[in-house]
A and B are shown apart, each in its own frame.
Chain A
Amino acid sequence: MARFLQQRQDYENATARSYQSEIGARNELARGEDPVAARAKIVAERGKRQSLRSDIDGQTRNTALLVGAGLIAGLTGAALLFSGLISSMRRPLEELVGASGRLASGDLNARVRVGGLSETAALGAAFNEMADELQRQSGERDRLDRMKDEFVLTASHELRSPLTSVQGFAELLMLEREQLTTKQAETVEVIIDNTRHLVRLLNDLLDLARSDAGRLTIKPVPTDAAALVEDAVRTMRGQTEASKQTLSEEVEGSLPAVLVDPDRIRQVLVNLLTNAHEYCPERASIRVAGRLEGTEVEISVKDDGPGIPPVQLEHIFERFTRGDAGLTQRVGGTGLGLAISKSLVELHGGTIGAESALGEGSTFYVRLPTAAS
């Protein structure tokens, strides 16, 4: 560039000198001194200037070409450099994005290859370190979860055998009630009541632990709804009779079979009946009904007890939500029964609900899919 400017300067100086000598020649001509030589000089100077101009134009063009070529070469180089830089960053980054996605969706084995630029390599190493730590923590958590589940299952099993004996022998004593004194019979009843409560606690805790671990499983088979109701009612008959409550069933004839795990739905029905029994006073009436409701079979438990205040009804299926505190003093529940019932019914693809009016009673219902639907 500097050379180009120098050439330009030289050209301008040379042109100026040429004009000066032409002017000198014209003056000589005007003065009439040697007109032939003067004319020849003028022509020579013009020719010289023309040649100078054509030289400088060529040089200008060359310089422009040179500058243009330089610019293009520079840009191309920069582009190449950038694309190299970008591609050397893109692959590791893409890999990181992919691995993060897999990690987030639960694949704790997701790792990236560490390499390339030092920055992406550091990022990759940090990612792998994080994934290692996550995997370690998750493994530890799984191990603790398994230990907890194992403990709950073992404890529940170990407690069940002695409870079976206590409850069984107490019931055996009650079979010969007429041979016991009133005080003895009352004592045995206390034992039976409390054993039953312990059993419920145990069952609820076990179900809760399973539900939390996502291991509450069902084995649905086509089941006769009327038989389910009858089974649950038979289980509750003794307790409702002891409280002089009326327990009646009213199941529509020819109900279609429901697709349920009979033990689990029986558990739900017994839970609803137990609640009705415990929250209702003596001589209350409890009615179990079964009917077809669209493509579902609805089984409802209706009582004429004290009813549930709207504020409590709203949260009745949540854990540890229980009826009126005044009542809970003599009610043996765990506050888990309805929450577990809800989980179980929903696991079947069914629904559970409740309606209540204070002073008039409550109705709890479950709707279950039929085997045909």
Chain B
Amino acid sequence: MAKLLVADDSETILLLLRTRLELEGYEVETAADGQEVMDAIHAGAGGASPDLLLLDAMMPRKSGIEALRELRAEGVETPALIVSAHQDAGDAELDVSGYVTKPIDFERLFAQIAELTTR
């Protein structure tokens, strides 16, 4: 089953995402901010890298948008979904596979993940 790296600064949201995604059968790794996302990607560069990133747009220290921008600059092409409170958090320049708005519509999220991980 596909492996997801999920980042959010709220522990409650992380618990919710992990629970729902694991129930769907995904393997879930979590990060509390953008820096942890970068660290996890760099640590797993050998082969255990995730199939999909699910990043909160706004996080302290380093936001999901910033982390993704840096990863793309490094040549990391892992598909990414940005989770945001607003629909207009997008960045036209950024290579994002899709946006997920809070509160999360899980049926829709599962459909998006399935499409991106079975390609």
Contacts and interface: CB of A to CB of B under 8 A. Distances in A.
A164 B16 contact: yes
B107 interface: yes
Contact of B10 (A153, A161, A167, A263): A161
For chain A, the bracket of interface size reads: 20 to 34
A264 interface: yes
B90 interface: yes
A235 B103 contact: no
B107 A163 contact: no
B91 to A, nearest CB: 11
B85 A169 contact: no
Nearest to B112: A231
B1 to A, nearest CB: 18
A157 B13 CA distance: 14
A160 B103 contact: yes
A6 to B, nearest CB: 98
Interface residues of B, number: 24
Interface string B93-117: 0000001011111111001000000
Query: 7 nearest interchain CB pairs?
Result: A164-B103, A168-B16, A157-B85, A160-B85, A160-B102, A164-B102, A165-B12
Contact of A234 (B23, B101, B103, B108): B108
A187 interface: no
Contacts of A235: 105, 107-108
B42 interface: no
Interface string B31-59: 00000000000000000000000000010
Contacts of B19: 172
B73 interface: no
Contacts of B86: 153, 156-157, 206
B87 A164 contact: no
Interface in A291-317: none
Q: Considering residues A165, A219, A237, which has the most beta carbons from chain B within 10 angstroms of its beta carbon?
A: A165
Q: Considering residues B13, B20, B103, which has the most beta carbons from chain A within 10 angstroms of its beta carbon?
A: B103
Contacts of A15: none
Given A153-B86, A161-B10, A234 B107 contact: yes
Contacts of A245: none
A161 B92 contact: no
Interface in A82-137: none
A175 B107 contact: no
Contacts of A206: 86
Nearest to A231: B108
A172 B107 CA distance: 12
A219 B105 contact: no
